[in-house]
Amino acid sequence: MKKILVLAFVALSLGLSAQTLRNSSNSSIGSISSDGTVRNSSNSTIGKIESDGTIRNSSNSSIGKIDSDGTFRNSSNSSIGRIDSDGTVRNSSNSSIGKVESDGTIRNSSNSSIGKAEGVKRSWAAAYFFFDYFKK
């Protein structure tokens, strides 16, 4: 038991804690660690968002990027959308497709809650919920 507590403390100290992603029914659908590792509900790694915004799949292939201005790009470097500073998520036509609220609530374009990503960077939550980088 002592070893488990020590390992947990070390993981938290290194910033490797994971924030649970939840669907509209509040069921866990995965997690994103503070280092950008994305896992599914079975805790299998399905991708990673690197510090420079590069998005990788489970095979470590680059599948997109989040630019510093909030623009989302696909693997061909084409813009597929963006996230505004207030959390509004827009598609490539600049239409609002949802929002990531400051408390982590994810809303669709009808303002209905579709999930929760509390403690997750807004752009990372948008990458997961709106741009399908991690869907199989």
Residue spans per domain, the chain: 2-129
pLDDT score for 11: 42
3-state secondary structure of 10: helix
Statement: residue 8 has pLDDT above 90: no
pTM of this structure: 0.85
Q: Does 39 or 11 have the greater pLDDT score?
A: 39
pLDDT, tens digit (0-9, with 9 covering 90-100), for 67-86: 999 999 999 999 999 999 99
The percent of residues above 90 in pLDDT, for the chain, comes to 85
Phi, psi values for residue 124, rounded to 5°: -70, -40
Q: For residue 125, which of 88, 95, 91 has the smallest C-alpha distance?
A: 88
Q: What is the residue-averaged pLDDT of the chain?
A: 90
Quote the CA–CA distance of 61 and 73 in Å, as a whole number.
14
Phi, psi values for residue 125, rounded to 5°: -65, -40
